[in-house]
């Protein structure tokens, strides 16, 4: 049995058929452990780290970062018994043996070799990867500088220098078509930040820069070790400059860097954006949407939150108005169970559990993770679950499982200063509530016009399941809770 094992991109669930390689967390020659994260992959739902199926030594990496790979495609080769001695590698024209097939011409062009640290192609960025590792994106171009290879932690004792830049297998480079040497940059090339001239930026920051058309080479990072942060990219996109140590950098017009001569920008539709577009189109043209609005005085609710924050057992918890909106929705579902249901062709499936979705805007696009069985949680447990959900989404670590199985959704458009909206239903759900900004407005209270805290709710629902009466009663109950949450808790529970 061959000791060389090919690791295929695994099935990530929920019907996902492909993923984009965001960052390799290992290099050719590295010794890896079982279940060690080896690659970060972005699917249509989340960015996930994939662990190694075997322990051993990395022999070949078949696809560079930024490549979209179908599920079941080999992405890495691992020598599961590197201590057994060198491998006899057949020519690429010979019949392959064991578990490592002969690479195709296309795959050879995409193979990553073991480059010296600090090598980076113009426009590509290396940066700290999860777990303290340093991920380096390698591109190939004309050789301008030579770099000494520093010993790499966990590297094989006699890792070869890939003189012909072919597939490195078992300590020997396989014969491949000639590929130009990696291009190496230092500060004299106009690259700032990081160590050894490498531009440091995490994968989500690189994606944000790409989406906004910002050239990372022109930025001076304000993060640790000179790494470029999300704020640095956003400031550059807005025409601002980032404060840092003086470095000779060639100015770049970042505001128009991504536009061509025709003054048009073309953005690939993939990943989360592609899935969102497909889901919203399917929902909008399948379920007959109706939206109702209700403006509510939430002054008492805001005072209740202040009292809650002041309690000793809540001082370490982030308490926001969204917590009370979520609680209001969960209690209103108990009074109107049909709202928490799904249209299934010839039947309606009413669900006793509520997987409460919270729409979240992230660097990767709009995602809707959900709190599983949220109706069974106490107020404190619900607060902790919402905080964890939001922090996980912001860090780009939401798993596909966390975004599956939602039954009812809240979208908090108020955080953007918007009063309300007409949200589109997530596929399979019958209702979604838009929570608008809380503003101080003139309001008639006890017969007098006073300044009160006011918000507007927008409820979109599937008219095949929820008629106007049911939708109105549900929205009214949510509004009643927010008008006086303490009285509603006493009366409803």
Pick the catalytic residue from 63, 183, 336, 463. Answer: 463
The answer to whether 183 is a known catalytic residue is no
DSSP states along 126-142 = -EEPGGG-EE----B--
pLDDT at 179 over 80: no
Nearest residue to 195 (alpha-carbon basis) of 126, 269, 263: 126
223-263 tens-digit pLDDT: 766 778 877 887 787 764 333 333 333 333 333 446 777 77
Confidence of residue 459 (pLDDT cuts 50, 70, 90): very high
Q: Could you tell me which residues come within 8 angstroms of residue 344 by beta carbon, excluding any fewer than 6 positions away? A: none
User: Does residue 410 contact residue 431 with C-beta atoms inside 8 Å?
Assistant: no
Look at residue 163 and tell me whether its pLDDT is greater than 70. Answer: no
Distances, alpha carbon 373 to alpha carbons 145, 283, 334, 378, 381, in Å:
58, 24, 13, 11, 11
CATH architecture of 186-268: Irregular (4.10)
Confidence of residue 67 (pLDDT cuts 50, 70, 90): confident
Q: Kindly report, residue by residue over 383-404, the tens digit of the pLDDT.
A: 999 999 988 888 878 887 888 8
Q: What's the CA angle centered on 245, arms 235 and 115, to 5 degrees?
A: 85
Could you tell me which CATH class the domain 272-492 is placed in? alpha beta
Per-residue model confidence as pLDDT tens digits over 263-284:
777 777 776 667 667 777 777 7
Domain boundaries, the chain: 4-122+137-182, 186-268, 272-492
- pTM value? 0.53
204, pLDDT greater than 90: no
Could you tell me the pLDDT band of residue 371, with boundaries at 50, 70 and 90? very high
Q: What is the pLDDT of residue 403?
A: 84
In the block, tokens 């509530």 appear at 433
* Predicted pLDDT at 143: 33
Structure tokens at 47: 């960015």
Mean predicted lDDT score pLDDT of the chain: 73
CATH 2.40.50.100 fits 4-122+137-182, yes or no: yes
Q: Where are the alpha helices (DSSP H) in 362-444?
A: 379-394
**Residue 423 near residue 460, CB atoms below 8 Å:** yes
Q: Which of 56-70, 110-124, 220-234, 294-308 has the lowest mean pLDDT?
A: 110-124
pLDDT of 78-136, one tens digit each?
Answer: 988 887 766 654 433 333 333 444 444 444 333 333 333 332 232 323 333 333 333 33
């Amino acid at each position: 049995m061959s000791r060389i094992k090919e690791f295929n991109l695994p099935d990530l669930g929920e019907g996902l058929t492909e993923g984009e390689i965001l960052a390799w967390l290992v290099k050719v020659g590295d010794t890896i452990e079982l279940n060690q994260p080896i690659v970060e992959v972005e699917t249509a739902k989340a960015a996930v780290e994939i662990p190694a199926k075997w322990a051993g030594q990395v022999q070949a990496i078949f696809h560079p970062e930024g490549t979209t790979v179908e599920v079941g495609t080999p992405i890495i080769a691992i020598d599961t018994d590197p201590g057994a001695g060198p491998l006899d590698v057949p020519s690429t024209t010979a019949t392959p043996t064991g578990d490592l097939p002969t690479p195709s011409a296309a795959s050879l062009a995409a193979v990553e070799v073991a480059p010296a640290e600090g090598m980076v192609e113009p426009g590509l960025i290396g940066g700290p990867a999860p777990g303290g590792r340093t991920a380096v994106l390698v591109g190939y171009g004309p050789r301008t500088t030579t770099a000494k290879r520093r010993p790499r932690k966990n590297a094989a004792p006699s890792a070869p220098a890939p003189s012909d830049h072919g597939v490195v297998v078992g300590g020997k480079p396989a014969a491949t078509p000639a590929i130009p040497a990696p291009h190496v940059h230092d500060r004299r090339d106009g690259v700032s930040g990081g160590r050894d001239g490498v531009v440091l930026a995490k994968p989500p920051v690189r994606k944000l820069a790409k989406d906004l058309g910002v050239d990372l080479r022109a930025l001076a990072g304000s993060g640790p070790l000179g790494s470029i942060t999300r704020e640095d990219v956003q400031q550059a996109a807005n025409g601002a400059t980032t404060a840092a140590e003086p470095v000779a950098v060639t100015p770049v017009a970042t505001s128009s860097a991504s536009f061509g001569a025709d003054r048009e920008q073309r953005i690939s539709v993939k990943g989360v954006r592609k899935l969102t577009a497909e889901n919203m189109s399917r929902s909008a043209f399948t379920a007959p949407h109706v939206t109702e609005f209700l403006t509510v005085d939430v002054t008492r609710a805001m005072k209740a939150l202040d009292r809650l924050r002041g309690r000793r057992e809540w001082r370490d918890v982030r308490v926001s108005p969204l917590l009370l909106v979520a609680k209001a929705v969960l209690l209103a579902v108990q009074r109107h169970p049909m709202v928490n249901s799904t249209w299934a062709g010839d039947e309606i499936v009413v669900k006793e559990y509520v997987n409460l979705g919270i729409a979240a805007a992230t660097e990767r696009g709009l995602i809707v993770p959900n709190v599983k069985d949220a109706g069974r949680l106490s107020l404190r447990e619900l607060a902790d679950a919402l905080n964890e959900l939001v922090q996980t989404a912001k860090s780009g670590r939401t798993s596909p499982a966390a975004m599956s199985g939602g039954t009812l959704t809240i979208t908090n458009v108020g955080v953007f200063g918007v009063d309300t909206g007409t949200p589109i239903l997530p596929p399979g759900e019958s209702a979604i509530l838009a929570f608008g900004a809380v503003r101080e407005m003139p309001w008639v209270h006890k017969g007098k016009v006073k300044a009160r805290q006011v918000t507007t709710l927008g409820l979109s629902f599937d008219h095949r399941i929820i008629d106007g009466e049911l939708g109105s009663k549900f929205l009214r109950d949510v509004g009643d809770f927010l008008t006086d949450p303490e009285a509603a808790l006493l009366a409803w529970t």
